[in-house]
Structure 1
Amino acid sequence: MAQDDDPTRDSAPDLQILGDQITLQPRSYVEARRNDDQEPLMHNMARFRSEPLQFLREVSLYVSGTGWRAYDSVIGQPIFYSGFSEQMRNAVVSAPLLQTRISQLADRRLEIEEKEGWLKREDKDFVTKKAQRRAIIESSIQEAAEKMTNDMICKFESKTFIRGAYYLVTQLLTRAYHQGIHVSSEEVLRLRKVAEVAEKKKQSIIFLPSHRSHVDYVSMQLICYRLGLALPVVVAGDNLNFPVVGSFLQHAGAMWIRRSFGNDALYTTLVQAYIDTLLQGGYNFECFIEGGRSRTGKLLPPKFGILSFILDSLLSGRVKDAIICPVSTQYDKVIETEGYVTELLGVPKKKENLADFLSGGSSVLSLKLGRVDVRFHEPWSLRGYIDEQLTKLTPSPAALRLDLKTPESAAIKQKLLRTMGYKVLSDINNVSVVMPTALIGTVLLTLRGRGVGKSELMRRIEWLIARVGAKGGRVAHFGNAPLSDVVERGLDVLGKDLVGVVQGLAEPTYYAVDRFQLSFYRNMTIHLFITEALVSASIYTRVKLGGGPAHQEISYDALRDQVLFLSSLFRGEFIFPGDGLVVNLEKTLVGLEDDHILELKRNEKGKILSIGLADEERAAGRENYDFYCFLIWPFIESSWLAAVSLMGLTPPLEQNDDIWIEVAKAQNTAQLLGKTLYHQGDLSYFEAVNKETLKNSYQRFEEEGIIYVVKSKDSKVPPRLRLASEWRPTRDPEKDGALQPSGKLWNFIERIASSRREGKNRRDGATVSTRVLRLADELGSRLFEDATHPESKADAKLSDEEAANVKRAVRAERRRRRLEGRAHL
């Protein structure tokens, strides 16, 4: 058939949507499929140079709004009509919640003016003057609120604009990701049905996607447009609101919010009023559960800011219900990974601007980054979830007044937020697919030796695919294309800057060129195997000792204690299964036994007594056991590095006062220590100096009371920290105050080290402790010098108010941990 006679030419090349029917088209990037439930959403579009007439034809179809491009009869509340923004702005600024806040702020201002003598009660016309002054204050606050609202709200005004925006963005995206956006037809059919019900009930669908790239929200908008769903309003940081681009994004769905609200009560209430208005109107909504983009490839812990507003809308009764839809977005290759590496190595993030955006956009046109896979978890009712959780949390949920601000309601709300956040992350992991590039990166970084032959690479990828399937995960599939072709395609997408190949040998041999950047793709699989990795690293405490199989066995109790320690250490780093430690441990051990990796010795009642490596695994050179260890070792190494850096926070002998160190400087010093130790051979993994992982470790140390952190009300004063007195190591006065490798902190470091990968430079523990401690102490002494320097930006000592706040925070944190029954480090 001639190209011009092809009936699919003027409709969706891969997914045709007609009313309630979704028809899968035969044209696609991939060949015939094992099953037809996943299809690419968009095909490459005509280019001006190669197909000028077809290009102009496509543009005219979008401008005229022909067929599905008209974006008519969408499922959801009406958007893209003249006057939408004004209607939304009026609804927000007239919201009772906001008007009450304006009245409260006016009252506070009047109280201040009375105290300062601007208004005097003894004046005969005091009441009149006060009323007039109140009117002026309320008017100025109202005017400020209207301006902030106008700057913040999304402006869905013009269908012509959104058609053109869709065409422009699709042109860019399908050239960078030349194999399109892929979705599951089963999932999008389900989503459309949910959207139809939500439209009738005037309920919002709240999309909560993972966040690895700026492409996340672009792909989400494209999918909703192409599926005929009302576009969601997307929460976006105002750092992207720069000239031209900011206005474009605001009209395409962006809602601008500040990166930090501080103590601005008006702005906080304004955001709540806007979210209330959106959810009351049944408008779709999107925010990123992780807050910012993940620079490491794995999911970040949930951020509760916007979730808190959403939850408050329902708990207060201002909104009846909303639908939650967790979304996973996976990439063959993420555009920003090179920039992420420089950030994680300590280079300050560059502020977004129009010049960089335009130059970046032009370079995107020449990229070949493979495909994007977007998966939608089954949506669920937020009201139903809240009711279910409240039944678990309290014996009489109906009697609770969560709309009132009491300590009890605040504690319950925090528990709801936390459980909801981690449920969403778990849902995202459950529907995520593993891309070929993630398989390749994982295998290359979990093998011993400099490189791997092609046949061995294929064998290990086949093993990994089987393990992903056994763990309930999904691998992005490519129909009947042989695995060798899929791997070749993945290698091409990663490129020679990440994976090199040595030719002229008996077989092509591949090696990791940039291990740091490649770790981003390895981390996309780690959530599937985190329990196996923790168990393997815990067993390694015995395996690393060497000797015969009996000598390398570990008792069940010792294993459980070390797994508990490591899982607590990484509580903020990974998303664990929600069944609890004992259940997860038993399940993992049995699974590893079934895979012939571990041998379990039981008593006559079937209770596990001890664990060791299986004979089959030893015969295979420990390759599968090592795989799990290699996954977790870089993170263990990073935690060890962060803990070692704390030794340097021990005050010098002559320092009697409590000196507080800037948090950012302490973390930068930990990173410098890590880089030095890596190049001196005391650190196995350069990924261990990852700024994000070090920051997470410091956060855990703060939660456990190992360090205290104080934040000033003055935004110009950076957060400061000091080592808790009970964790401070001692100094030897007879050896110039040298740090001694003993005490609570050193024992903590040694416990982390017991699961570290053994290295040739670390066999002599005494030598290492001397060398590493000396270096940590030298770097730490510079921190104390900087802190006490007259030109230091932050005061090295706390005010009385700050000291009192620290004491209260420490007591509250200890009480909270005790009540929650958390595992302690």
Structure 2
Amino acid sequence: MASTKAPMPPAPSAPDLDILGDQVTLHPGGYVAAPTRPGEDGERNLVEHMARFRESPLDFLREVSLHVSGQGWRAYDDVLGQPIFYSGFSDNMKSMVMQTPLLKRKIAELAARRVQVEEDEGLLAVNKEGGIDKRSKRGAEIEESLREVALEMTDAMICKMESKRFIRGAYYLCTQLLTRTYHQGIHVSSEEVLRLRSVAEAAAKKKQSIIFLPCHRSHVDYVSLQIICYRLGIALPTVVAGDNLNFPVVGSFLQHAGAMWIRRSFGDDALYTTLVQSYIDTLLQNGFNFECFIEGGRSRTGKLLPPKFGILSFLLDSVISGRVEDAIICPVSTQYDKVIETESYISELLGQPKPKENLQDFLSASSVLSFKLGRVDVRFHEPWSLKQFISEQRSRTHVLSSQNLGYPSKSPNPDDRTRLLRTLGFKVLSDINAVSVVMPTALIGTILLTLRGRGVGKSELIRRVEWLSDRVRSKGGRVAHFAGAPTEIVVDRGLEVLGSGLVGTVSGLPETTYFAVDRFQLSFYRNMTIHLFISEALISAAMYTKVKQGGGPENQRIAFTTLYDQVSFLSQLFRGEFIYPTAGLMTNIDTTLRGLESDGVITLTHDPQSNQVQSIELSPQERASGRENFDFYCFLIWPFIESTWLGSVFLMGLTPPCSRPQTTDDDPTPTSVKPRTSWLDLTAVQDTAQLLGKTLYHQGDLSYFEAVNKETLKNAFQLFGEEGIVHFRKADGGAKGKQSTLIGLAREWTPQRDPRSGAIVPEGKLWTFIEMIASSRREGKNRRNGATVSTRVLGLADRLGSALFEGDGIVQQGGLDEDGLKGRAEEQGSPRKRKRRRDILGAKARL
């Protein structure tokens, strides 16, 4: 449905940016790509006009010559930042790291601890006369050994950007490869990069680091940011990278181009942990720019992942401890018309193991160079001071403590640091979302997956893309623009990039008709827009509990209190999936309801005296349009509801089998059906839940194949742990030494079994939880009759669960209490203790 608002008049756009050599020149808006809507920034493609040998051999050779000789801006002189590119930089960096007081103290501490262990075990024979000398000598030997280990680890870890000639060659090579794949280049906002250069200039004078915190959807993320920094004359950041990419040839290349290698897991290695902290301290103390991905790994789903707090914790500690005066945080959003790795992502999300990176696969990836994947859009949020952020958060906490307690807190709360770290992580994610650009492919993918029909005509597709673009802008989002080109041209470009493998065309019809070929892969692009409409989606899903009942408007009207309860339930259900507005639940609901009313989607009924909202229903206008806007919001959230419902249904299958019924000769009726409790391997449980989902989808009990998404199911099980529905624990490493995570149903959530048949009884706390989720599920074949779930679906879940108990999925039998979780103590404790216990379990589950 087209927006009913009058179109806004064009507003002056931000200037476009032209970078030639070391000069930054401003041009009127429209020099390259003129924005046609208010709020859109001028853009500049930083890597266009790269010569190709076959097309223009002379121009190609000329460009190579300019890069080799370092002519003009290619020389990369007068860089905004600290000097890096000089011979001996790596040795100097290693020396500074090894001399940090933090690392010295840790080495001395570890050595003293080892000497004490050797003495306690009788390995260090000492007497009263020479004991001190022997301990000192042994301690010195251990310290020297630890220093050698630390120096070796430092050499393997640190980036080694020593040669400008190498960097010039790497820039040219990467730009050539990137522009062959993303043929429309890298686009930035002129306003944002000018601001970034200004911040970089001020930071260089103060010898402060800029910490780039980008989202992570592709390996191209760090390549594009390095290219932008090089092109703008900003010092290249040191990039945190997992050592899984440190394989022959490529690993050395990346390390000399800025990669800092760290382990995927530190475990209990205190020396390595301190070494990483010392290296980060050294970088920030000397004003070297830094880059790490706030989400940790790449997002396989298209939307932002929850923040990972590992490296973020090191950065925070550097400033909190006073070892670093301050650093500048710069959240970065990188968006793509099409992500290179989406096909491999889909394989992983459907249960295929992630292949280990190697040189052969890297070289075979060169086939993507023939693709036409559109463009990359990089946006920079306004940078801000980490020290100032810490100060503001501490002041706010201090005020709240004073208000709650009546007097200032004399000692810091041990939870303050954790709260500060979480606030920092989610603020960065919010900033990334605020500057993200919605690409045409995301608009098209979203439309195709939010229609009830099998396909859509071209004219209708264009209309809905225009409607969605307006809705994105009205929510404060940005839409990529193409020099004011008509929507039809933008749609054609988007369809070309997506390709026939994702979007099919029905030929022989009066109008060109498009349909989703690979809905699972298209969901990656739909998820790039969902954060903008999550509040509307949750309210629509809550309203759907009444709308799906059918009948007249009065029958579909929902009371505000009922809607509030369901929205509260759903928002808690997806707190690990989405980033909500920070104003609070009631304020968000009120704001969203008023927005939906102004858009003509719903009608609100108010109490005549208090003016409070009493009930909500679909507006006559929305009903006349066939509910297309209301359905749009529901379609966004339904796959996630399905996935969480799937995970919770499979929890019923984790009900342990009954012990053998006890009977007597006089009375054959079973008298004991107490189930035994068992721990199951979490990975096996999640894989089996995914198998259940695939079965239910093909049998018609699931509407969306995306519901079997491995990442969404993982998030669901993490939620179940945080809510205390299940418990997690670590298993012994065994012969291989690798720990696995075990899962077991909490006692109060475990369903009962029928004493005669042994079947799971569909009732109890877990069943009520499932019903709450199911009330917002999409209606359809096999889903209108609740008996279908309570019999056939539940029976299938039980059968798959029983196979786990009988097979290798079972790890250990025994009561939860006996195995160390103290479930009864939790049940009998105060609400505060139970909440704390849930938080601890949730933290363990995340780890």
Partners of 2:637 and 2:469 in 1: how far apart?
Answer: 19
Partners of 2:809 and 2:604 in 1: how far apart?
Answer: 56
Partners of 1:101 and 1:507 in 2: how far apart?
Answer: 72
Aligned to 2:19: 16
Q: CA deviation at 1:125?
A: 2.0
Amino acid at match of 1:67: G
Aligned length: 796
1:576 aligns with 2:580: yes
Aligned to 1:131: 136
Amino acid at match of 2:486: P
1:681 aligns with 2:681: no
Counterpart contact for 2:35–2:481, Cα < 8 Å: no
Q: Which runs of 5+ in 1 are unaligned?
A: 1-12, 399-405
Residue among 498, 512, 521 paired with 1:517: 521
The CA deviation string for residues 702-733 of structure 1, in whole angstroms up to 9 with x for no partner, is 11111000024635231101000000011001
Q: CA deviation at 1:394?
A: 2.3
- Secondary structure of the corresponding residue to residue 449 of structure 1: coil
Partners of 1:327 and 1:447 in 2: how far apart?
Answer: 32
Counterpart contact for 1:149–1:270, Cα < 8 Å: yes
Residue among 415, 427, 438 paired with 1:411: 415
Aligned to 1:774: 795
Residue among 640, 644, 651 paired with 1:635: 640
Amino acid at match of 1:216: D
Counterpart contact for 2:183–2:373, Cα < 8 Å: yes
Query: How high is the sequence identity, in percent, across the aligned residues?
Result: 66
The CA deviation string for residues 436-458 of structure 1, in whole angstroms up to 9 with x for no partner, is 00000000000011100111111
1:803 aligns with 2:803: no
Aligned to 1:40: 45
1:290-301 paired onto structure 2 within 5 Å: 290-301=295-306
Counterpart contact for 1:14–1:41, Cα < 8 Å: no
Residue among 730, 734, 746 paired with 2:756: 734
24-33 vs 236-245, which moves further: 24-33
Residue among 836, 840, 847 paired with 1:816: 836
The CA deviation string for residues 532-590 of structure 1, in whole angstroms up to 9 with x for no partner, is 00000000000011111001000001100100000000000000000000000000000
Classify 1:731/1:112 alpha carbon distance in 2 versus 1 (closer, same or farther; 3 Å).
same
Residue among 437, 461, 470 paired with 2:441: 437
Residue among 45, 66, 70 paired with 2:71: 66
Q: CA deviation at 1:506?
A: 1.1
Residue among 482, 491, 503 paired with 1:499: 503
Residue among 193, 199, 205 paired with 2:198: 193
Aligned to 2:236: 231
Counterpart contact for 1:14–1:25, Cα < 8 Å: no
Aligned to 2:426: 422
Residue among 732, 739, 754 paired with 2:775: 754
Q: CA deviation at 1:318?
A: 0.5
Q: CA deviation at 1:145?
A: 0.2
Amino acid at match of 1:323: I
Classify 1:157/1:410 alpha carbon distance in 2 versus 1 (closer, same or farther; 3 Å).
farther
Classify 1:768/1:339 alpha carbon distance in 2 versus 1 (closer, same or farther; 3 Å).
same
Amino acid at match of 1:749: I
Aligned to 1:719: 741
Amino acid at match of 2:569: F
Aligned to 1:10: none
Q: CA deviation at 1:22?
A: 3.5
Aligned to 1:259: 264
Partners of 1:817 and 1:577 in 2: how far apart?
Answer: 27
Aligned to 2:326: 321
Aligned to 2:384: 380
Partners of 1:263 and 1:738 in 2: how far apart?
Answer: 44
Counterpart contact for 2:817–2:824, Cα < 8 Å: no
- Secondary structure of the corresponding residue to residue 678 of structure 2: coil
Classify 1:471/1:556 alpha carbon distance in 2 versus 1 (closer, same or farther; 3 Å).
same
> TM-score w.r.t. structure 1 length?
0.93
Amino acid at match of 1:745: L
Partners of 2:496 and 2:438 in 1: how far apart?
Answer: 17
120-129 vs 424-433, which moves further: 120-129
Counterpart contact for 1:709–1:806, Cα < 8 Å: no
Aligned to 2:662: none
Aligned to 2:226: 221
Q: CA deviation at 1:54?
A: 1.1
1:691 aligns with 2:695: no
Partners of 1:267 and 1:275 in 2: how far apart?
Answer: 12
Partners of 2:461 and 2:501 in 1: how far apart?
Answer: 18
- Secondary structure of the corresponding residue to residue 694 of structure 1: helix
Aligned to 2:7: none
Partners of 2:839 and 2:690 in 1: how far apart?
Answer: 35
Partners of 1:544 and 1:628 in 2: how far apart?
Answer: 15
Partners of 2:150 and 2:822 in 1: how far apart?
Answer: 32
Counterpart contact for 2:694–2:708, Cα < 8 Å: yes
- Secondary structure of the corresponding residue to residue 760 of structure 1: coil
Amino acid at match of 2:739: V
Partners of 2:89 and 2:718 in 1: how far apart?
Answer: 43
- Secondary structure of the corresponding residue to residue 333 of structure 1: coil
1:222-621 paired onto structure 2 within 5 Å: 222-360=227-365, 362-395=366-399, 408-604=412-608, 605-621=610-626
Q: CA deviation at 1:41?
A: 1.1
Partners of 1:502 and 1:692 in 2: how far apart?
Answer: 33
Aligned to 1:6: none
Aligned to 2:725: 706
The CA deviation string for residues 371-390 of structure 1, in whole angstroms up to 9 with x for no partner, is 00000000000111100000
Amino acid at match of 2:322: G
Classify 1:274/1:22 alpha carbon distance in 2 versus 1 (closer, same or farther; 3 Å).
farther
Amino acid at match of 1:120: A
125-134 vs 510-519, which moves further: 125-134
Aligned to 2:10: none
Classify 1:49/1:798 alpha carbon distance in 2 versus 1 (closer, same or farther; 3 Å).
farther
Q: CA deviation at 1:20?
A: 6.3
Q: CA deviation at 1:42?
A: 1.0
Q: CA deviation at 1:18?
A: 5.3
Aligned to 2:670: none
The CA deviation string for residues 21-70 of structure 1, in whole angstroms up to 9 with x for no partner, is 34459998868977872111111411112211111110010010000000
Counterpart contact for 2:208–2:327, Cα < 8 Å: yes
Counterpart contact for 1:28–1:43, Cα < 8 Å: no
Classify 1:358/1:94 alpha carbon distance in 2 versus 1 (closer, same or farther; 3 Å).
same
Counterpart contact for 2:338–2:374, Cα < 8 Å: yes
Classify 1:221/1:801 alpha carbon distance in 2 versus 1 (closer, same or farther; 3 Å).
farther
- Secondary structure of the corresponding residue to residue 108 of structure 2: helix
Counterpart contact for 2:17–2:43, Cα < 8 Å: no
- Secondary structure of the corresponding residue to residue 339 of structure 2: coil
Counterpart contact for 1:92–1:274, Cα < 8 Å: yes
Partners of 1:542 and 1:36 in 2: how far apart?
Answer: 43
Amino acid at match of 1:379: P
The CA deviation string for residues 715-765 of structure 1, in whole angstroms up to 9 with x for no partner, is 523110100000001100122x10111000000000000000001211111
- Secondary structure of the corresponding residue to residue 267 of structure 2: coil
Counterpart contact for 1:648–1:779, Cα < 8 Å: yes
Partners of 1:80 and 1:806 in 2: how far apart?
Answer: 58
Classify 1:298/1:461 alpha carbon distance in 2 versus 1 (closer, same or farther; 3 Å).
same
> TM-score w.r.t. structure 2 length?
0.91
Amino acid at match of 2:24: Q
Counterpart contact for 2:33–2:481, Cα < 8 Å: no
Counterpart contact for 1:14–1:26, Cα < 8 Å: no
